[in-house]
Structures are given as C-alpha cells and as structure tokens.
Structure 1
Amino acid sequence: MTTPQPGPAEPAAQNRPDEEAIKAAEEQLSLLWRRSRAASYQLARAVHPDLEPSAYGLLAILFNDGPMRLTDLAANIGVGKPSVSRQIAFLQDIGLVHKLDDPQDGRAQLIHLTEKGTHQVKQSQTARKQALDDRLAAWSPADVREFARLLRKFSENYYEN
C-alpha cells in the first residue's frame, strides 16, 4: 500500500510553522525593532544632538554607496524628495554633506559627504560594530553564521508575499 502524496494544489501544511512559533517570532522581532530604533536614535545623537535617525541613515547610504542625486537618495530609502531635501539641508547646515555639480549632467547635483561627515559616520559605524561584537562574543562562530543566514533569508523574503 502506497502513502498518498499531496497533490500540486494541496499545501504542505507540515512544512509551515505553527501559530505559536509565528507569535514568538513576531514578539522577538517587535522587541528587536524597538531596540533598533532606540539604537538608531543614539547613533544619530552621537553625530549631532539635533540629528534625526532618518538623516543618519542618509549619511550611512552616502558613506556606503558614494555621492548621489537627491532623487536617487529619496528612492533608495523609499520616501518623498521633499522630506529628503529638508534633511539634506540640515546636514549641509551642520557641515556633514555638500552638493557638487554632477559631471554627467550639469543640471543636476550630487550630494557628497564632507570630510567631517565621513569621519562621523566611520566613528558611529565603528561603535555600532563594537556593540554588536560585544553582544555576540559569547556565541559560537557557527551560531553567528546561522543567525546571519536566517536574517538574510528573512530579509530576502520579507516583501515577497
């Protein structure tokens, strides 16, 4: 006697997590996001007392990806150009970014980190990395790799459904 196999229209229910597991994951993600927002606030305030976390995010993007147009920066974070424009104006006022003509298009400008902006982001990222290193110091290398693998898997699938 053969065991019936699920057909193509039947979901493999045994491969789906149960409600309790999903609830536990949701609770932990919620806690992680709250703590992440608090850490982002602290990172931003370490750069400048009036800096918003979202403006720090712009600095980090410019640090990692290099100079870019305001429209590209806004698209990169998924917000409107006016919001990013206000944040860039503030970052300019405190000396962390400046605008230069785009060599590819004289009508446009590229936003660059200043030397001070680059220094501030490097300093913040070094502190953030040290904090993560401290929190993972007691973990085995295999656990850290598995944690990174699962976070990547979650991130890659986050918006698929």
Structure 2
Amino acid sequence: MSNPAVEPDAPGATENSVDAALRNVENQMSLFWRRGRSISQQLSRQVHPDMEPAAYGLLTVIRGEGPIRLTELASCIGVGKPSVSRQIAFLESIGLVSKEADPLDGRAQTIRLTPKGEEKMHQVQDARREVFRERLGEWPVEELQTLATYMAKLNATYERDGFPRDETK
C-alpha cells in the first residue's frame, strides 16, 4: 500500500502514490462541487423563488464586471448566447437587470444590475459571507490563507486551460 504522506514529486513517490493522491483530490473536488451546486441553488432561491442557479451566476458576473455585453457575459461563464439570453430575459422580467445602449457601440446593448438587483445581491452575498464565517471562523488565519492560495492556484490552472473566469467578484 502506498504512503499517503509522500508528496507526489518527492523522492520515493511512486506512480501508485501519485494516482492515489489524484484520486483523493478528484473525490474531494467532486464533493466540493456538489456542495457548491447545492449552495448556488439555495442562494438563487433567496434572490427569487423561481431563479435557476445559472441566473444567480450571471448576476455575480454582472455585479463584478459592471455593465457587460451579452456576448462577453456568455464568454465569462463559458456557455452559449442562447442560454445566457434566456436567463437575462428572466432576470429582466423580475426587475433585477436592465439593458441599455452600449456607449461604445449604439447598436449593441449592455446589461447592468438594477438598484433592486444590486440590493438583492448585496443581501444574499452578505448572507453567504456569514455562512463562510460560521463554517470556517474557527480555522487559524494561516490555514485560511493557505487554502485560498491553493484554490487560487487551482483556479488559475483551470482558467489557463480555457475554463471560465471567476464569477464571484
């Protein structure tokens, strides 16, 4: 049996220990992603009972980026324009976003949060931060910083490989 304490790049690491470490990372990431999807579902329902998690993700991008074109928004999250367009139509119908002429190109439109959308996102994101504080508040600051460093490294790897940008600014 391989030694789980052996670092994959350390002298004495075997292919089996690397495979075991990668399987462990995969299992932990899968669990983390499932929990993340569940949290996104809960957060989207706090904004509006009929909102899909994908629409909540769009709101976080719009909030972080400011006024943004539909094509750029679709690119940010790595999905097609039709999906984003459908979600934006829903968000517009419930008064959370508005469209306006792009000042750089009058033929195009930019999407922005309405004051109602900004207020809803502020409330939900404050609640989300409080959940993090409840879950991770007992961790030593050094461990939180280390976790953030490794997560940033992982996200940079995925972004480098063509995955969408950060949606949580």
Q: TM-score range by the shorter chain?
A: 0.7 to 0.9
Q: After TM superposition, list the pairs within 5 Å mapping 1:13-28 onto structure 2.
A: 14=11, 18-28=18-28
Measured on the aligned residues, the alpha-carbon RMSD in Å equals 1.7
Q: Secondary structure at the match of 1:55?
A: helix
C-alpha distance 160-84 of structure 1, shift in aligned 2 (>3 A): closer
Q: Which structure's CA Rg is the greater one?
A: 1
Q: After TM superposition, list the pairs within 5 Å mapping 1:118-157 onto structure 2.
A: 118-157=118-157
After the TM superposition, list the runs of 4 or more consecutive aligned residues in structure 1 that deviate by more than 6 angstroms: none
Which residue number corresponds to residue 60 of structure 2?
Answer: 60
Provide the C-alpha distance between the structure 2 equivalents of 1:159 and 1:123, rounded to a whole number of angstroms: 29
Provide the C-alpha distance between the structure 1 equivalents of 2:63 and 2:90, rounded to a whole number of angstroms: 17
Q: Secondary structure at the match of 2:146?
A: helix
TM-score by length of 1: 0.87
Provide the C-alpha distance between the structure 1 equivalents of 2:152 and 2:103, rounded to a whole number of angstroms: 36
Higher relative contact order (CA 8 A, sep 6+): 2
Shift of 1:131: 0.6
Which residue number corresponds to residue 49 of structure 2?
Answer: 49
Shift of 1:159: 5.6
Q: Secondary structure at the match of 1:158?
A: helix
Q: Once structures 1 and 2 are overlaid, which stretch shifts more, 124-133 or 33-42?
A: 124-133
- Matching residue's letter, 1:146: T
| Stretches of structure 2 lacking an aligned partner (at least 5 in a row) | 1-8, 162-169
Q: Secondary structure at the match of 2:68?
A: coil
Shift of 1:160: 5.1
1:94 aligns with 2:86: no
TM-score by length of 2: 0.83
Provide the C-alpha distance between the structure 2 equivalents of 1:136 and 1:119, rounded to a whole number of angstroms: 26
Q: Provide the aligned length of Structure 1 versus Structure 2.
A: 150
